[in-house]
Chain A
Amino acid sequence: MTILTIALKYLRGRLVASTLTAVSIALGVSLVIASVILARGIKEGFISGATDYNLVVGAKGSPMQLVLNVVFRMDLATPNIEYTIYRDLQQDQRVGVAVPMALGDAYHGFRYVATNGAYFATSPWRRKTFWLAAGRLFPDDPPNAPTYEAVLGAEAAAGTGLRIGDRFYEGEEMADYPLTVVGILRSTGSADDRAIFFSLSSFWGMNEVARKMVVKPLTAVLIRPKRMSDLPSLHREHNVAPETQAVLPSGVLLTIFNMMAVAEDVLTMILAIVGVIVLLYVFVSMYSATLERRREIATMRALGARRATVLAIVLVESCTLAAVGGVGGILGGHVAAYLAASLLATRSGLVTSPFLFGALQPAVLASVILLGTFAGLLPAVLAYRTEVAENLTPLS
């Protein structure tokens, strides 16, 4: 019999205790893997979902609320700005592209986003490209003749079950102005997948307050300057103006990342404590198992087994437990990350990848095996030092 087969036999001999030890290791590892993957995934989700536009101009208020609402469709919409601000920006020599946005209301939780055709236009500087899966885009209709045509993001279409030609509305007051689905977009891997797009005229037409307003309202204007070096002056100009604020979307996201870094530090401490608890559990498990079978070890020694062999058996046992727990933990961690990512996407629209493979998984597995073996070192030394004469005395 080899050392490995003896070790496995010992583990099978106390199956419940061995299984519980492996499960506790797996739970600890799952927690580490899921936490790290989710933290990274959220950051990656924010980066990949970030807008290609360099500046967002909206009403005075929280910059974070403005960016989260306009770009990621989270949080509430900021107060309105006047449509004239968009017109002025369009005529500004420094502005290359200006896209008006009006947000508010939702259908089955999928946010309404009113804009114009420029939002879907492709450009060399845009990473995001919109492709239609079916139908067509809505036209840039004039304010006095809204078409009430809507284009659904991929997830919005799947979630609502709406098809081309379907008419829908939410809330009694909207019953007179139902929207008609004319197009469905392919997935972009961003918050746009969960949006319902239509024209600004339709938005103003279906909202009673906006209908009565002479100067129509907007939530924000997305801006791409002709020259990046004009960005600071555009930013400053709209920040010192009494009715608007200008926000660099990446600046807001970097602030969010800074806050996440603090949370990650706290999480790292918690995970380290979890790691120590799991190690202690492995140690206690192996130690008590070694104490229980001192008589067996003494018998093995009496039959000719060397001290080194006894030491190796206990080390292989703890190493095997750590390896099984580690592999189970990595798999479990990915499952937990997948479930959490799905929940996050449903509730907040943030698209994260739960299957980020890299150096993390092998590094965690190697560390778990190493530390698990280390936890079995003292019990192994105890087994190594087992005296034959002392432990083979008659039990009576």
Chain B
Amino acid sequence: MIGIFRVCLIATLFVAFVPTGLLAGSYEIPRLTFAQLVDSIRADSEVTQTIKSYSGKEVAIHGFIIPAGPPDLSFFMLSRVSALGNYCCEVPVGQDETVYVFAEKEVKITYDPLRIFRIVGVFEAGMRADPTIGPSLFRVRNARVEEASGAKIFKVGEMPAAASRP
């Protein structure tokens, strides 16, 4: 009787903890920072192979939403700097400071221009011209958007552990 009880106990513990262990070692979405993106741009508007290696892969990027497209946020830009901060930081100029984001489905967030959001989607690097949005260097497609309260915006030189992996 005690043997059966032990077998049941071990089986229960196995079912409860093994999937958690498997998940812990599973694929983690790498995070890219604006510092990395800026660093990757070459003089001829090309980008480094390191950043290009993320193309087609799912990445996470944190930043401020600039609602440059329609109000359903099917397309918007992600920036290092808030669109509404008139006193803070340098004005973002050029392709390096923004990521063009195409949402997977209707974005259901409480829009706040002063809040940092986390977007996760398929990354694309390299100059491309689009008839509706014009030329872009960094894009994220099929993006999901979520609030990223308290997230850290990494500066040039700083690398989050996940993104600095080769």
Contacts and interface: CB of A to CB of B under 8 A. Distances in A.
A296 interface: no
Contact of A228 (B77, B86, B91, B111): B77
B125 to A, nearest CB: 14
Interface residues of A, number: 31
Q: How large is the interface on B (under 10, 10 to 19, 20 to 34, 35 or more residues)?
A: 20 to 34
Given A228-B77, A232-B79, A255-B111, A54 B68 contact: yes
Contact of A257 (B66, B71, B131): B71
Contacts of B131: 124-125
B71 A231 contact: no
A2 to B, nearest CB: 47
3 shortest A-B CB distances, which residue pairs?
A250-B67, A254-B111, A124-B131
A236 B85 CA distance: 8
Most interface-central of A125, A227, A231, A250 (chain B CB within 10 A): A250
A229 B95 contact: yes
Contacts of B83: 232, 235, 248, 251
Contacts, number: 88
A97 to B, nearest CB: 12
Most interface-central of B68, B73, B133 (chain A CB within 10 A): B68
A232 B134 contact: no
Nearest to B131: A124
A210 interface: no
Given A236-B91, A258-B111, A228 B71 contact: no
Nearest to A44: B72
Contact of A230 (B70, B79, B93, B137): B93
B100 interface: yes
Contacts of A225: 134
Given A125-B133, A255-B111, A231 B77 contact: yes
